[in-house]
Amino acid sequence: METLELFIDGKFVPAKSGDEREIEYPANGQIHIRAAEAGKEDAKAAIASARKEFDTGNWTKTTYAQRGEILRKVANRLIAERDEIGRMESMDTGKTYAEGKADVDDVASVFNYYADMAYADGGRVVEPSMDGISSKIVHEPVGVCALIMPWNYPLLQASWKVAPALLAGNTIIMKPSELTPSTTHYLTKILIEEGVEPGAVQLLLGSGAEVGPVLTESPDVDMVSFTGGLVTGRSIMASAAGTVKRVALELGGKNPNVIFADADMEAAIDNALTGIFLDSGQVCSAGSRLIVEESIKDEVVNELVKRAANIKMGASFDEGVETGPLISKEHREKVMAYVDRAIEQGAKVLVGGEIPEGELAEGYFYPPTILGECTRDMDCVHDESFGPVLTVETFSGDTDEEKEANALEIANDTYYGLAGAVWTSNAGRAERMARAMRHGTIWINDYHPYVAPAEWGGMKQSGNGRELGPTGLAEYQEIKHIWHNTKPAPAGWFKN
C-alpha cells in the first residue's frame, strides 16, 4: 500500500520518526492508503526551509505575472486530472464521486481566478501632486504562511489559501487534516511540476495537535491561515499571540435558513434539503437552522421529513447514491451526542436519528435527521453539529413588520455568523433581511452557491478575515508605503 510522504526542503521524505498513519475510507472503515506522520522536528525543518526560500530564494524574485502563469497551469492540470483527483477526495472523505469531482472543478476555478488577478493589483500612487515626491503604496508578500485545513473539503479549502498565498509571493507550509491527506499531497506534486520553487511549498501530514503549535508559535512563521472548528481556532489565536503574527480564521457556523410564507415553496423546500443534507451536513455553511413562518410550518416540515427519508445514502462510487457517510466513527459519535442532548432538552426526532443497519453498518453513516419542537434555549439550536441534523424553529407576527422583526431576532441569535438565507417573494423584505442578518454571506431565494470572485468568511465567532475575491489576496499581502524625495533638501526643523 502506498505511503504519502511529507514534502520538506524540496523533497518528498518520510517522517523523521518513521511514523505512519492509516487512512480510512469512511464508507466501510477499510484502510486505503498510509501517510507519513509528521512530528515537531519535521515541522521545524519545514519552517526552516520555507524561511530560507522566502529570505534568500528565487520565489520572491518572480513576478506576479510569472506566478499567475503557474497558477493557470495548475488549474489546467486539475481539470485534466479531475476524475483521479475526485476519486482520491471521495476515498478520503467518503463523499460521493460526483461531489468529489465537482470539488475539483471548484478548485480549478479558484486557481484560474487568482491567475487572472495577477495583473489586477499594482498598488497605488499617493500624493501625486507634490513636487519632487514619489509616494506610493506597494503590496508585498507576508512571508512564511502556515495553511491549516479541515477534512470536509480538503482540496477546496486548501485552494482558497494556496492560490492567493502563492500569487502574492509567499512561501507556504500546508497542513491538511490528518484524516484527508491525499489530494493536498497530490496538489504538492502538481505545484512543483508546474514551476513553483520547491522551497516555496512544504507539506506536513499528520496530527495538528502535534505540529500545529510548532507552526503557530514560531517566530519564523509570519502568518497562520486556519479553517476548522471554533475551539481549535481559539487555541491557534492564543498561541499565535506570542509572536503577534497575522491570523486568519475561517471557523464554524450555525446558519439560519429563513422561509417566509410568500416564498416559492417548491424552491424553498428543495433548497432547504440541499442546504442541510449536502455532503451529509458536513459543510460550514450548512443551513442547519430552519426558521419558518408559523403558518406554513406543517407544510414545509412534513415535506422535508418525507424527502429526507428518501435520500439515498451509500458508498461513493455506487449508482444512485446521493450522500455519503460521516468522516469518522468519532465524528459520528459527536453528532449522535448532539442529537441525544437535543432529545434530553425536549426536541423531537421527526426523521432519522438511528444508525443504519445492513450493508451500511460497516461505514460511518448517519441518516438525514430533523429535530422538531426546538426552542432557542436548547444547545442544538446554537451549537454546530457538523452533521446531517436540521433544527426547526418558527416565527410569527400580526403584521409584516412584526414577522420580519421576529424572524430577524431569531436568525441573529447565535454566536456564529457565517452564512444564512432568506426565502420570500417580497423584494423589499428580502433586501431588508439580507442587510440586517449578521452573517458573512446571505443568499436570497437560494442556498449554498459561492463563486471565487466573491469574498467568503464569518462575522462574530465564525472567524475573521475573508477568503476568495480581492480580499482573499489581500490577506496574504503586506502593505508598504514608499516615499521617495527626488529633490532632497534639509528639513530645517532644528536650527543648528
Binding site for ligand NAP (CB under 6 A): 148-152, 157, 175, 177-179, 207-209, 212-213, 216, 227-229, 232, 235-236, 250-253, 284, 384, 386, 418, 458, 463
Q: How far is the CB of 202 from ligand NAP (least distance, A)?
A: 15
State yes or no: is 24 an active-site residue: no
Confirm if 325 and 387 have CB atoms less than 8 A apart. Answer: no
Q: How far is the CB of 201 from ligand NAP (least distance, A)?
A: 17
Alpha helices by DSSP H, 145-248:
154-167, 182-193, 208-217, 230-240
Measured N-to-C along each axis, helices 400-411 and 427-436 cross at an angle, to the nearest 10 degrees, of 30
Query: Which grid coordinates belong to 262?
Result: 410568500
Closest among 82, 227, 83, 206 to 154, alpha carbons compared: 227
Q: How far is the CB of 448 from ligand NAP (least distance, A)?
A: 12
Closest among 446, 464, 436 to 455, alpha carbons compared: 464
User: In terms of CB distance, is 112 or 227 closer to ligand NAP?
Assistant: 227
State yes or no: is 193 an active-site residue: no
Residue 16, Cβ neighbours under 10 Å: how many?
16
Q: In whole angstroms, what is the distance from residue 458 CA to residue 460 CA?
A: 7
**Catalytic, out of 37, 53, 197, 250:** 250
Q: How far is the CB of 270 from ligand NAP (least distance, A)?
A: 23
For 65-82, b where at least 16 C-beta lie within 10 A, e where not — what string? eebbbbbbbbbbbbbeeb
**Catalytic, out of 24, 37, 99, 284:** 284
User: In terms of CB distance, is 269 or 389 closer to ligand NAP?
Assistant: 389
CA angle in degrees (0–180, nearest 5) for 421-427-428: 100
CA trace torsion 170, 175, 181, 186 (10° rounding) = 10
User: In terms of CB distance, is 229 or 356 closer to ligand NAP?
Assistant: 229
User: In terms of CB distance, is 250 or 475 closer to ligand NAP?
Assistant: 250
Residue 334, Cβ neighbours under 10 Å: how many?
13
Q: How far is the CB of 282 from ligand NAP (least distance, A)?
A: 7
User: In terms of CB distance, is 169 or 176 closer to ligand NAP?
Assistant: 176
Give the residue numbers annotated as catalytic, written as ranges: 250, 284
